[in-house]
Amino acid sequence: MSALPQRRPVALVTGGRRGIGRACCVALAGRGFDILAADIAEEGAEETAALVRAAGGRFAFRRLDVARLEEHDAFVQAAWQDQGGIDCLVNNAGVGAMQRGDLLDVSPESWDRAFGVNARGTFFLTQAVARRMLEVPPAAQPRSIIFISSANAQLASPDRGEYCAAKTAVSMLARLFALRLAEAGIAVHEIRPGVIRTDLTAPVAEAYSRRIAEGLSPIRRWGSRRMWAAPSPCWRRATCPSARVTRCTSTGVCMSAASEPATPGAARMTDRRLHFEEIEPGLEWTTGGIQVTEAHLLAFAGLSGDFYDIHMDDTYAQALGYPGRVAHGLLGLALADGLKNRAQTQLAAIVSLGWRWRFTGPILVGDRLQATIRVVGLRETRHADRGIVTLAFALRTQRGDTVQEGENDMMVHRRAPRA
């Protein structure tokens, strides 16, 4: 294994020669890390090395079978000797089910393989790295541990039960290590990829493409490794000493899990909202959804005084060519603002400064609305402690129709005043 000649922050990425692991290597290299990739084989490592170098990082590779616990101590010792330490551990190595099929046909071999790599091996490698991290005093460079689990840590897929169970175990590992390492200032994160195009999903790509088109996920497209390599607040927070546990949805947007109930003595959480200097143009997220009901229309009509027939009378609306009553346009805008305020991604907002908005289609009773929000502008203000963020909205129905769209200017706190 080649040594890295000068000490910079180093990230160890298991399963780093291809797929999500490769994308993690490139993303971290773009953030100033040198990379130590570990994998069971070398095939593909040279391509990862070239991408890491192109992103500005240095690259070293060492073979490691995560499931072979007897290899861990020597591997970690070599990493500290050759690289001078590990600042970020990305637990990405994993395997799927040996064969998809009936849950009642899962073999002990497939079960043991899934748990041996995904859970058992990951636990003991993290234990070995964490012990070494704790042997040295905290440095100026924040330290972090990242667990790549899966959406199947929550979503059950009976045709690969052993994989779901193992990834659920990985999710718990993230919580356990977060609590254990909090006092040492070591941030611990869990990221749950959805359906990502990798070698692991290649054998079932056709089936997943069909299911995605049928509505498997709210955003009807595959996830790609390019999403992982794009700069985003996720990776900044992955090396943030104030962070403890985060989860990422398949859209790549982080959500805090550390505010959920924990054991007594767990670290108190800091403000997890995104502040002005942490927000980047192009950041995008999708909100939860809300179903428009007759009660919404009646309540909004009572508040606004707008009892126009198209909102109140199905027969009148049908005579105009609509399937039934049409929701007030401003009700749609209000619901979009509410979806923003309840989204997993939150900005440290002070006040909304205004909206530029268009109604592009009817909202009907029974429609389920969901908003996609993207940062399209940032500008300074005369106040050193705040800035203005411009958000572009697309409000869509369950049919995929964009029924409203526009922009919202928000004044947002800085985490630290501008010098």
Q: Same structural domain for residues 296 and 266?
A: no
Does one domain contain both 307 and 213?
no
Residue 45 to residues 125, 365, 377, 380: CA-CA distances in angstroms?
Answer: 21, 54, 38, 43
Q: Are residues 51 and 149 in the same domain?
A: yes
Q: Give, as one character, the DSSP assignment of residue 272.
A: -
Q: What is the mean pLDDT of the chain?
A: 83
What integer is the mean pLDDT of 283-308? 90
Instruction: Name which residue leads in pLDDT, 170 or 343.
Output: 170
Question: Are 251 and 314 within one domain?
Answer: no
Helix (H, G, I), strand (E, B) or coil at 225: helix
Establish if 192 belongs to a structural domain: yes
With CA atoms as reference, report the closest residue to 141 among 9, 4, 329.
9
Greatest mean pLDDT range, 145-154, 187-196, 244-253: 145-154
SS3 label, residue 183? helix
The predicted model scores a pTM of: 0.54
**Listed residues 233, 250, 272: the one ending a domain:** 272
Query: Does a structural domain hold residue 2?
Result: no
Q: What is the pLDDT of residue 241?
A: 33
210 vs 306: CA distance, rounded Å: 43
What pLDDT sits at residue 259? 29
387: β partners: 380, 412
Res. 58 pLDDT band, cuts 50 70 90: very high
How many structural domains is the chain composed of?
Answer: 2
Question: In sequence order, which ranges of 147-276 are alpha helices (DSSP H)?
Answer: 161-181, 205-213, 225-229, 233-238
Which tokens sit at 53? 């170098």
- From CA 86, how far away is CA 193, in angstroms rounded? 24
Q: Which of 251, 272, 293 is the last residue of a domain?
A: 272
Residue 348: what are its φ and ψ, rounded to 5°? Answer: -80, 70
What local confidence, expressed as pLDDT, does residue 208 receive?
66
Residue 291 burial by CB count (10 A; 0-12/13-18/19+): exposed, middle or buried? exposed
Q: Which two tokens stand for residue 238?
A: 């992955």
Residues 268, 305 within the same domain: no
Query: 359 Cβ partners below 8 Å, 6+ apart?
Result: 329, 332, 403, 404
Which amino acid does the sequence have at 168? Answer: T
Sign of CA dihedral 325, 329, 330, 331: positive
CATH number at residue 291: 3.10.129.10
In this structure, the answer to whether residues 56 and 205 fall within a common structural domain is yes
The answer to the question of residue 137 being in a domain is: yes
Looking at the structure, tell me whether residues 373 and 250 fall in a common domain.
no
Question: What local confidence, expressed as pLDDT, does residue 250 receive?
Answer: 35
Amino acid identity of residue 297, one-letter, is: L
**pLDDT at position 142, please?**
81
β-bridge mates for residue 146, sequence order? 90, 189
Asked if residue 346 and residue 201 are part of one domain, the reply reads no
Residue 337, pLDDT score:
95
Kindly state whether residues 144 and 248 are assigned to the same domain: yes
**Confidence band for 258, pLDDT divided at 50, 70 and 90:** very low
Question: Which CA distances in Å does 192 have to 39, 227, 316?
Answer: 20, 13, 48
Are 184 and 298 in a shared domain? Answer: no
Query: Among 272, 304, 338, which residue terminates a domain?
Result: 272
234/419 Cα distance (integer angstroms)? 25
Whether the predicted pLDDT of 153 surpasses 50: yes
Amino acid identity at 373: I
Catalytic residues: 163
Rounded-to-integer distance, Cα 109 and Cα 385, Å: 58
Q: Quick one: pLDDT band at residue 199, thresholds 50, 70, 90?
A: low
Domain that holds residue 327: 284-413
Confidence of residue 204 (pLDDT cuts 50, 70, 90): low
Give the DSSP H or E segment for 334: helix 329-341
Q: pLDDT band for 4, please (50, 70, 90 cuts).
A: very low
Residue 175: beta bridge partners?
none
Q: What is the pLDDT of residues 8-52, one digit of tens each?
A: 899 999 999 988 899 899 889 888 899 999 999 999 999 999 989
pLDDT of residue 178: 94
Whole-angstrom distance, CA of residue 145 vs CA of residue 308: 57
Name which of 409, 406, 388 is nearest 333 in CA terms. 406
CA angle 76-147-39, nearest 5°?
Answer: 50
- Residue 256: the pLDDT is 34
Same domain, 204 and 84: yes
**From CA 61, how far away is CA 49, in angstroms rounded?**
9
- On the question of pLDDT at 206 being above 80, the answer is no
DSSP E strand boundaries for 111-262: 143-148, 186-191, 246-248, 254-256
pLDDT exceeding 90 applies to what percent of the chain? 59
- Answer whether residue 418 is part of any domain: no
- Domain containing residue 19: CATH number: 3.40.50.720
The predicted-structure confidence for 316-336, as pLDDT tens digits, reads as follows 999 999 999 999 999 999 999
318 and 354 housed in the same domain: yes
